[in-house]
Structure 1
Amino acid sequence: MDYTRKFQAMADAARAQVEEVAPEQVDALMAQGAIALDIRDKEEHDKGHIPNSLNISRGKLEMVIEKNVPDLNTVLLCYCNAYNRGSLSAASLQSMGYKNAKVIAGGLNAYNALQKS
């Protein structure tokens, strides 16, 4: 998908400020209590997602996250299809006080590629 220059610059800046988690680490982190947070729209989530992930669309994230994840120390592994929305979400959550908001490197695409190998 082609993005505007300003959007991509904003997403790149967010990506630079959040910690990335390798797709290989996701299952182990979830086994330790991390939450995989799918920030894509419901229609996207319904087509495929990381098992046991929590789906909160990017458009509602800041409004509903506290009801769904009240503990600011929870490890949140944000993801979209690749990087942009996941990075923006992790950065936004960090600004809300979620100390362990991270992004899955390569998003769902990278996670799924790992599962197929």
Structure 2
Amino acid sequence: MDGGEKFVLVDVREESEWARGHIAGAVYLGKGVIERDAEQRFPDPSTKLILYCGGGFRSALAADNLQKMGYKNVESMDGGWKGWIEAGLPVAKD
């Protein structure tokens, strides 16, 4: 994720999961509302979006739904939050 390309990192986990910790710089948009709120939060469908959840399943579903809505550059982060933590990468809480 450090290749210099601009992207928005989106945490699609539950709000309680977000509150316990998330990736620094991520924005929160839970799986339950992402389809409803995506167009307002990300009006340009060419915006690169990288979604993550606990392990990758919810973010893969959300990415698929966003692609069906016309978003052209959406990915689900391999390994999700679990993979991030296991790699010892930094965590934010706010």
Q: Report the TM range for the smaller structure's normalisation.
A: 0.7 to 0.9
- Structure 2 SS opposite 1:115: coil
Q: Which structure 2 residue ranges, 5 or more long, are not aligned? A: 90-94
TM-score (norm 2): 0.87
2:92 maps to: none
Moved over 4 A (4+): none
Structure with the bigger percentage of helix: 1
1:14-41 per-position Cα deviation (integer Å, ceiling 9, x unaligned): xxxxxxxxxxxx2x15x53211110011
1:73 maps to: 46
1:109 maps to: 82
1:45-71 per-position Cα deviation (integer Å, ceiling 9, x unaligned): 011111110111111111101111111
Q: Which structure 1 residue ranges, 5 or more long, are not aligned? A: 1-25
- Structure 2 SS opposite 1:85: helix
1:53 maps to: 26
State the aligned residue count. Answer: 89
Q: Of residues 46, 63, 70 in structure 1, which corresponds to 2:36?
A: 63
Task: Tell me the distance in 1 between the aligned counterparts of 2:27 and 2:13.
Answer: 10
Q: Of residues 43, 47, 52 in structure 1, which corresponds to 2:16?
A: 43
1:58-94 per-position Cα deviation (integer Å, ceiling 9, x unaligned): 1111110111111111111111010110100000010
Percent of matched pairs sharing the same residue: 30
Say whether 1:33 aligns with 2:6. yes
Say whether 1:82 aligns with 2:63. no
2:71 maps to: 98
Offset of residue 115 of structure 1:
3.0
- Structure 2 SS opposite 1:87: helix
